[in-house]
Copies of this chain bind each other. A is one copy, B any other.
Amino acid sequence: MATVTLKVEGMSCNHCKEAVEGSLKKLPGVKSAVVDLDAKTATVTYEEGAVSVDQMKKAVEDQGYDVV
């Protein structure tokens, strides 16, 4: 298992949190995804090789948020 923390801009409320976490959890190999609204982060635990950080970024960006 590996963990990556993405810096995400534009998340403002619990709906945003759920949208981002949900999009990450749908990816293959993602074990958990936790958004911290105050820190503006999404921390993802995943199986290495099953999913790339680029795929995570795309999933979050597709929800309308910027990964910086």
Contact = CB atoms under 8 A, between A and B. Distances in A.
Counted per complex, copies of this chain come to 2
Contacts of A15: 13, 15-16, 19
Contacts of A19: 15
Nearest to A12: B12
Interface in A1-32: 10, 12-16, 19
Nearest to A13: B12
Contacts of A12: 12-13, 16
Most buried by B among A10, A12, A13: A13
Contacts of A16: 12-13, 15
A51 B22 CA distance: 35
